Amino acid sequence: MFVDKAVINIKAGDGGDGAVSFHREKYVAAGGPDGGDGGKGGDIVFVADDSLSTLIDFRYKRKYAAQKGQNGSGGNRTGKNAPDLVIKVPRGTVVRERESGRILADISGDEPVVIAKGGKGGKGNARFATPTRQIPKFSKPGFMGQEYEVSLELKLLADVGLVGFPNVGKSTLISVVSAAKPKIANYHFTTLSPVLGVVRVDEGNSFVMADIPGLIEGAADGVGLGHEFLRHVDRCRLIVHVVDVSGSEGRDPKEDFEIINRELKNFSEELSERPQIVCANKCDMATDEQKDEFTAFIRDKGYECICISAATTQGTSELISLIAEKLSELPPIKRYEPEALPVSFDEEAGKGQKFEITRGDDAVFYVEAPWLEHIIRTVDMDDYMSLQYFQRVLRTSGIIDKLEEMGIDEGDTVNIFGFEFDFVF
């Protein structure tokens, strides 16, 4: 079964809790706090696996959770970091946050991609010892790992996409120009899954061609199966539009051409403007008048047209050469860039809230504000907009003003629940 869409829930591991412990040793009085920090929770990591071709596995398992970091322990022992949970998906899978629809990653390369980050470990009580607080009897819990409900959408990585009505010869064409072996028969309905084939032009020069299941009128609006597969044309650098020029199915080839292009445009304006070569297939069954009339019609539309017969391989080598020439002039296959977290934070957060700031022997400014812990957990420190919001919260709450009152200098370290940063005016 070919499955190219799925929805799953992913949960990165929570950080381990910090420990409350005091040094105990014979003949050593007042050993002091020695509670260690918790370990980091495991990340959720996606990687491309070329042995996978569908998302069917995600129909049967929908929840993925990484392990929690180990708790800290006495003797200043830090808990062990949890291992990452690696999820393998077919190359070309686009991962989106389901609620917002924003793109989290495009799993098209070889590099692993972290989708959900594990929580940092909590601080042990040894971290909170100061000259005035020598026996801290508290520690901090680990931070929660990120959790998302994500949609997975497979968009095939192909240089060339074959489009056209069912039974116009797309499957035959890809079978004679590549090693792909789709089922071929005189079907009056569409192929049920896309087929990929590698077409070799010459030594060291090849491209990937995809036979996209046949479209019918109304596909972009959900009629038939074609709309389910239009996403696979989305990445193609070049569209090869296959038309039965002989009209063997009783249809008008010119009307077929117009209908398919209209469906592409209804699905995506950008897709309709993609470079396109028109193949007048089954020319061995067509009259000279049919071929000449159709070729003139296509060229008047501004497209290149080539007459072929996939069944007899007539004109297929010329088609491959033309495709290779066009591809050499086109940009690489489209990659989707991750989208930033939309800013929808409470601008009044922190206003009127209480906090306490102390300066430790290590010259670090420690901010104690229980209400701020939740905000830190929701802020993505790798995202510029998120950091801007966090800075506004510190300003609105008066924390920055208090730090300036206490004589903080540029470059001094501020610690808020274990998150440390250098102060900048």
**Residue 219 pLDDT > 50, yes or no?**
no
Averaging pLDDT over each range in 8-17, 176-185, 349-358, which range is the top one?
A: 8-17
136 pLDDT band (50/70/90 cuts)? confident
Res 327: pLDDT: 93
361 pLDDT band (50/70/90 cuts)? confident
Contact between 198 and 178 under an 8 Å Cβ cutoff? The reply is yes
Alpha carbons 121 and 15: distance in angstroms, whole number: 4
Instruction: Output the pTM of the full model.
Output: 0.70
How many other C-beta atoms can be found within 10 angstroms of the C-beta atom of residue 152? 22
In order, the DSSP letters of 210-277 are EEPPPP-TTGGGT-TTHHHHGGGGTT-SEEEEEEETT-TTS--HHHHHHHHHHHHHHH-HHHHTS-EE
Q: Give tens-digit pLDDT for 75-123.
A: 899 999 999 999 999 999 999 999 888 899 999 999 999 999 998 898 8
| Percent of the chain predicted with pLDDT > 90 | 35
Res 236: pLDDT: 87
**Residue 185 pLDDT > 50, yes or no?**
no
**Residue 344 pLDDT > 90, yes or no?**
no
Vertex 205, ends 201 and 207: CA angle to 5°? 75
Element (H, E) at 385: helix 384-397
Q: Side chain identity at 35, as an amino acid letter?
A: G
3-state secondary structure of 370: helix
**Residue 165 pLDDT > 90, yes or no?**
no
Q: Give tens-digit pLDDT for 255-301.
A: 989 988 888 888 778 888 889 999 999 999 989 999 999 999 999 99
346 pLDDT band (50/70/90 cuts)? low
What are the φ/ψ torsions at residue 209 (nearest 5 degrees)? -115, 140
Lowest mean pLDDT among 43-47, 61-65, 105-109, 394-398: 394-398
Alpha carbons 239 and 210: distance in angstroms, whole number: 10
**Residue 224 pLDDT > 60, yes or no?**
no
Domains of the chain: 1-154 (2.70.210.12), 160-327 (3.40.50.300), 346-425 (3.30.300.350)
Res 62: pLDDT: 94
Higher pLDDT, 187 or 396: 396
In order, the DSSP letters of 112-164 are -EEEEPPPPPPPPGGGG-BTTBSS-----PPPPPPEEEEEEEE----SEEEE-
Q: Give tens-digit pLDDT for 414-425.
A: 888 777 888 886
**Residue 220 pLDDT > 50, yes or no?**
no
Higher pLDDT, 352 or 68: 68
Contact between 350 and 371 under an 8 Å Cβ cutoff? The reply is yes
Res 42: pLDDT: 96
What is the 3-class SS of 280-330, one letter each residue? EECHHHCCHHHHHHHHHHHHHCCCEEEECECCCCECHHHHHHHHHHHHCCC
Lowest mean pLDDT among 116-130, 238-252, 384-398: 384-398
Burial (0-12, 13-18, 19+ Cβ within 10 Å), 364: middle
Alpha carbons 236 and 270: distance in angstroms, whole number: 12
Higher pLDDT, 69 or 411: 69
- Please give the mean pLDDT across all residues of the chain: 84
Res 187: pLDDT: 47
**Residue of 63, 66, 65, 103 lying closest to 82 (CA atoms):** 66
295-311 mean pLDDT = 92
Taking the CA atoms of residue 360, residue 119, residue 379 and residue 392 in that order, the dihedral angle to the nearest 10 degrees is 0
